[in-house]
């Protein structure tokens, strides 16, 4: 998904992808990022603070958030579980966001 976003002039700079290492330390997240060559930002959440704010959902969990012009936001996608087809999920996220 990250590469598709970065390679599309209409999406680059408008769509961001991040990962949250629930229960993971900075060291663990940095190691994971290095070993698996993850190009997008990953955030450690060793104390589960982010996880708690998200409602203590299980992982993997996908959230689509659209930031509005006034700085507020709307959650347009929220789903537990992995994606069977990454391209299908990507297309759904873009469509539901209103960008496509």
How does DSSP assign 21-76, residue by residue?
A: EET--HHHHHHHHHHTT--S-EEEETT-HHHHHTTS--SSEEEEEEE-TTS-EEEE
pLDDT of residue 99: 82
14 secondary structure, DSSP code: T
Render each residue's pLDDT in the chain as its tens digit; 100 residues: 999 999 999 999 999 999 999 999 999 999 999 999 999 999 999 999 999 999 999 989 999 999 999 999 999 999 998 888 989 999 999 999 988 7
63 vs 19, 20, 51, 81, 93, CA distance in Å? 11, 11, 12, 11, 9
DSSP-derived 3-state class of residue 93:
helix
């Amino acid at each position: 998904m990250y590469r598709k976003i970065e390679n599309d002039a209409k999406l680059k700079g408008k769509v961001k992808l991040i990962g949250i290492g629930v229960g993971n330390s900075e060291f663990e997240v940095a190691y994971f990022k290095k070993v698996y060559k993850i190009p997008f930002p990953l955030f450690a959440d060793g104390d589960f603070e982010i996880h708690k704010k998200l409602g203590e959902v299980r992982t993997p969990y996908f959230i689509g958030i659209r930031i509005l012009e006034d700085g507020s936001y709307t959650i347009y996608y929220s789903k537990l579980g992995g994606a069977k087809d990454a391209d299908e999920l990507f297309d759904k996220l873009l469509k539901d966001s209103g960008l496509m």
